[in-house]
Amino acid sequence: MDISEFQYMIWKTYRHHDEKRGLMKTYKWLVSEVEELGRALSKNNIDNIKEELADVLAWLSSVANLLKMDLEEVCIARYGAGCPKCRYIPCRCTYREKP
C-alpha cells in the first residue's frame, strides 16, 4: 500500500465523519494525535508509538482529504528531488536543533 492508497482507504472509512467535523476541527484532532505521539515517545512505549504514528498519518490523510489534495503528490512535489532548500540527498543544509 502506498501513501495514496492509504489516504483513499482513510477517505472510504472516515469521509462521512470528517466532512461532518470539517477542516479545522479535523486539523485540531491531528494536532492532538501529534501530542499523543510525543507522550508515547517520552515514555518510550514501542506499542503506543506504533499506534500513534499510524494515528498521525491517518489524521493527516483526513486533513488532505478534506482539502481534496493527494498527500503522496504533494510530498513528492516537495521532497521528491531531495531537501526542498538545498536540493541534495542527503541534505547539505546547516544542522539546526529547532525549527
Task: Give the shortest CB-93-to-Zn ion separation in angstroms.
Answer: 3
Here the cell at position 91 is 541534505
How many CA atoms does the CB half-sphere of 72 hold within 13 Å? Answer: 8
Choose which of 74, 77, 89, 91 interacts with Zn ion (CB under 5 A): 91
Stretch that binds Zn ion, among 8-16, 23-31, 58-66, 85-93 (CB under 5 A): 85-93
Query: Is there binding between residue 25 and Zn ion (CB under 5 A)?
Result: no
Nearer to Zn ion, 17 or 85 (CB): 85
Choose which of 31, 74, 75, 86 interacts with Zn ion (CB under 5 A): 86
Dist. CA 99–CA 80, nearest whole Å: 21
Query: Is there binding between residue 85 and Zn ion (CB under 5 A)?
Result: yes
Angle, CA 70 vertex, CA 64 and CA 73 arms, to 5°: 130
Interface with Zn ion: number of residues (CB under 5 A): 5
* Whether the Cβ atoms of residue 18 and residue 66 lie closer than 8 Å to each other: yes
Task: Give the shortest CB-90-to-Zn ion separation in angstroms.
Answer: 8
**Could you count the other beta carbons within 10 Å of the beta carbon of residue 96?**
6
